[in-house]
Structure 1
Amino acid sequence: MDLLHKNNIHLAKLVATPLPASPKLTLSSGTPLDDASQYRSVVGSLQYLSFTRPDISYAVNRLSQFMHRPTTEHWQAAKRILRYLVVTPTHGIYLHTSSPITIHGFSDADWAGDTDDYVSTHGYLIYNGRNPISWSSRKQKGGARSSTEAEYRVVANAAAEVRWLCSLLTELHIHLPTTHVIYCDNIGATYLCANPVFHSRMKHIALDYHFVHNQIQSNMLCVSHVSTHHQLANTLTKPLPRARFQQACIKIDVTKAPSILRGRIR
């Protein structure tokens, strides 16, 4: 709320999504700002907020890529996120106390989605039962030659996060099922996880392949295909239209705080 008042956004026109589905932001969008300090301050503050708000993670990640040379269009996009927050000041992750302790995740990649350098953006969302506990939205290092490669890279990153979380819970003496599931909406990446025959054209991602495949062979991990319509990590890789975005937020469990907390937040 301090951030909104500081930037006089609480009186601005409200929006239902943090970023519009189109047009896409680019390095050359708009004209360079004479003073970029306010843009950098706002985006830096939003980075901290995204630690508890997965619904703005993609938008904040995208705007963070223009810190070195922000333009008027980038500043308008930053203010749009603030306008979205005016509508959802009490939203956050709802943690269910009756949720079972099972680790599973969703991984997704927007293949070559950045029109400046054609590098993919990937994201994953890890759940403990019904509760989202870890998420990430970031650009991949280097370009991917195919959508399968881009998707497989994020499966490997999600698998590493799942492995770390399982290790943490084990140290806390919490018993977990032996096999954990990652849901991926790319059929090629799913088949590559299941097929022990490594295609010669995929050798450049051999490190990720062996990391994932070794966990599958030891029954620690299972990679399953999920329809794009049920892919919860979509919000972390691309801007979505209003209806799809709001539906995804409901599925992720980004909801209003209970009434007893809303009064304290205000």
Structure 2
Amino acid sequence: MDQELTALEKNHTWELTTLPPGKKSIGCKWVYKIKMNPDGTVDRYKARLVAKGYHQVQGVDYFHQSAHDSCLFVKSDAHSFLALLVYVDNVLLTGSNEKDILAVKKFLDDLFTIKDLGAARYFLGVEIVRTNLGTSLSQRKYILDILQDVHMLDCKPATTPFPPGLKLVADCGVPLPNPDRFRRLVGRLLYLNLTRPDITFCVQQLSQFVNHPLTSHWEDATHLLRYLKGCPSLGLFYSAGGGTSLRAYSDADWAGCPDTRRSITGYCIFLGDCLISWKSKKQQTVSKSSAEAEYRALSSTVCELQWISYVAMDLHLDIPTPIPLFCDNQAALHIVANPVFHERTKHIEIDCHITRDQFKAGFIAPQKVPSSLQLGDIFTKALGPGLLRAFLSKLGMLDLHHVPT
């Protein structure tokens, strides 16, 4: 196998028609694109290649690559279901039949001599703890490594990621003498978003200034590190019996950027009671009203809901519709329900009206939610300690060192 790969690695496509010695050929082809590194070497993505080429002896059941997530491969029949998630040469494998899982692992080991780490406990910097009630994800070690690298292990903890109401600007302070240090820190904080939705808004704010960071931006970043110092074990808890219904919260901070006057979109999506998707992002255009900003935020949320529903189909999950979509702006909800174009909406791009289309199709059910219960607020502004703690509880975040047993 390795000799065949070596002979073909100069090409940009691998096309293998035979299995390794001792394996029965079933007449299938493996075709996979490979990427050349700048130094001329090849990223082989071995596990992904195998996932695409793995067959049963009968030659009928095989992994299908998801059309909606290129890292996801699934295989199902009348008796079992397998899902394989690949990141370069790191693989997570799960399924309904342990015998099938063992068969896939043996196949991988025969080809590439894999290292089987058993039940998932640590994957790409994410710590996984499982109990009878559910699964917790955190990045405690990753956070402590960041604090050690910036020499802040002994710093005084802060109660909030940012001071309440803080908004970063581009012209307050002097340029950092070593901007690469700031850029490296922001890059690591972006990866920390995997399990820390409580810092998503702050990281979005900091990432705007990686090209020209100032001393004030570094001070704000260190404030965020002080907050992480106080809760390094905080993570997401996924209940074992959370259900498969979706619900979403959409919010916008109108003209939230002091420099460009563009609004900030924030949303979060739950599967049952478990938070599975969230985002904080500056909108691409300036909105003329808070209703328009909220309407654009709804559009982004609906697109994410559509993608999640497609992936759920790949995983054989039945998502009930219409999906509740909560918004605290009554004017935006009126625009969704009203098919008539008028002065407040005729300047909005056509693609923003996906919210109205999906409402008419019965995919979503927009609903008014009080601002005090709008969970999207945590993704659009810096909150005070009291409101922050209340929202963290509703987002399903808890301390990994105090997982319920």
Equivalent position amino acid for 2:195 in 1: T
Gaps of 5+ in 1: 262-266
Contact 1:108–1:231 under 8 Å retained in 2: yes
Distance 2:202 2:336 in 1: 30
Equivalent position amino acid for 2:294 in 1: E
The answer for the alignment partner of 1:92 in structure 2 is 235
Alignment partner of 2:305 out of 135, 155, 162: 162
Matches within 5 A, 1:149-228: 149-228=292-371
Note the alpha carbon deviations across 1:57-107, whole angstroms, 9 max, x for none: 000000001111111110011111111111111111110111111011001
Contact 2:299–2:353 under 8 Å retained in 1: no
Alignment partner of 1:238 out of 368, 374, 381: 381
Contact 2:166–2:382 under 8 Å retained in 1: no
1:15 is paired with a residue whose SS is coil
Matches within 5 A, 1:134-153: 134-153=277-296
Alignment partner of 2:205 out of 39, 62, 76: 62
Q: CA deviation at 1:201?
A: 3.1
Distance 1:35 1:255 in 2: 36
Matches within 5 A, 1:13-92: 13-92=156-235
Pair 1:69–1:190, CA change in 2 (3 A)? same
Equivalent position amino acid for 1:246 in 2: R
Alignment partner of 1:112 out of 252, 255, 259: 255
Tell me how many residue pairs correspond in the alignment.
Answer: 261
1:249 correspondence with 2:389: no
- Runs ≥4 in structure 1, deviation > 3 angstroms? 258-261
Equivalent position amino acid for 2:366 in 1: V
The answer for the alignment partner of 2:127 in structure 1 is none
The alignment's TM-score, normalised by the length of structure 1, stands at: 0.94
The alignment's TM-score, normalised by the length of structure 2, stands at: 0.62
Distance 2:179 2:233 in 1: 29
Equivalent position amino acid for 2:264 in 1: T
Q: CA deviation at 1:200?
A: 3.4
Distance 1:157 1:221 in 2: 13
Note the alpha carbon deviations across 1:14-73, whole angstroms, 9 max, x for none: 101111124432111111111111111111100000122100000000000111111111
Distance 2:372 2:153 in 1: 34
Contact 1:94–1:254 under 8 Å retained in 2: yes
Pair 1:69–1:206, CA change in 2 (3 A)? closer
RMSD value, Cα: 1.5
Q: CA deviation at 1:259?
A: 4.4
Q: CA deviation at 1:118?
A: 0.6
Q: What percent identity do the matched residue pairs reach? A: 36
More strand by share: 2
Gaps of 5+ in 2: 1-143
The answer for the alignment partner of 2:155 in structure 1 is 12
